A = this chain, B = another copy of it.
Amino acid sequence: MTRPARRRQRVPLPLLLPAGLGLLFLVLPLAGLLVRTPWTTLPRRLAQPGVLTALRLSLETATAATLLCVALGVPLAWLLARVEFPGRRLVRALVTVPLVLPPVVGGVALLLVFGRRGLLGSWLDATFGVTLPFTTAGVVLAEAFVAMPFLVIAVEGALRGADARYEEAAATLGAGRWTTFTRVTLPLVAPGVAAGAVLCWARALGEFGATITFAGNYPGRTQTMPLAVYLALETDVQAAIVLSLVLLTVSVAILAGLRDRWVGVT
């Protein structure tokens, strides 16, 4: 897209004011945390053994959950955006269920399905000897469940915004629906997929309720940063703040390091 090359960008006040307020609203609480950070004891707290493990586990599971969401969520979004089928409207609303469900209840629901006695879990256990609760895979599953709606909704929006006539052009050139999807549609909505994946990743990174309920809390196996933060909160608010800041710093650094790629600047 061509962007306007206006020489001097005058930003109108009715836009600048709420934008500034919005930014302040998002950033001030962070400042509140920074003010309360125990800077003197910070190095000691960071050096504690569990911190790095939890951080690594968080990043790994969030990334794995995002990949799972992309693999399943992009086709689902495509289905919702491009194929008319009865009940589509209901399906679309159902996609938002994990968003509205309190995460702890989501965890319970996952246990009811994938747990040892669950609908599918008992079968998985009996047939393959696979149990998901209390494993790292369970963490990924819980995070993916909670984060997937973000991906699906973002990608569906991008698909609807994309001009479907490009897909028609591809069809006249001999591309079937699958080739059109991979060669034309996906590249066209890549910015939307990236934005959705970022939302998804960030949400997975911060996931707590479903994870602890479904996968439990065991250091090195299922204890992600948010779980460590919650436990720290029980005894020591400052320790929780330090852990949160570590999580935030890493994620902001990663997102800022992605440049503008995730918002569709090519």
Report which A residues bind B (CB closer than 8 A): 1-4, 9-12, 14-19, 21-23, 25-33, 35-36, 71-76, 78-81, 83-84, 89-106, 108-113, 118-120, 144-145, 148-150, 152-154, 156-158, 160-165, 167-168, 171, 176-178, 181, 191-192, 195, 198-199, 202-203, 205-206, 208-209, 225-226, 229-230, 233, 237, 240-241, 244, 247-248, 251-253, 255-256, 259-260, 263-265
Contact = CB atoms under 8 A, between A and B. Distances in A.
A32 to B, nearest CB: 3
Main secondary structure of the interface of A (DSSP, over half): helix
In this complex, the member of A10, A21, A27, A150 whose beta carbon has the largest number of chain B beta carbons within 10 angstroms is A150
What are the nearest 9 A-B pairs in CB distance?
A32-B112, A22-B72, A29-B109, A19-B75, A12-B178, A99-B202, A22-B76, A93-B255, A93-B256
Total copies of this chain within the assembly: 2
Given A26-B97, A80-B263, 19 more contacts: A1-B162, A4-B164, A9-B83, A14-B75, A14-B178, A15-B177, A16-B79, A21-B72, A31-B113, A32-B110, A89-B259, A100-B252, A102-B208, A108-B237, A157-B192, A157-B263, A158-B161, A161-B191, A161-B264
A68 to B, nearest CB: 9
Contact of A22 (B73, B83, B96, B192): B73
A1 B82 CA distance: 12
B161 A33 contact: no
Contacts of A202: 96, 99-100, 149
A154 B156 contact: no
Contact of A157 (B2, B96, B154, B253): B154
B164 A71 contact: no
Contact of A203 (B30, B99, B119): B99
Contacts of A10: 177
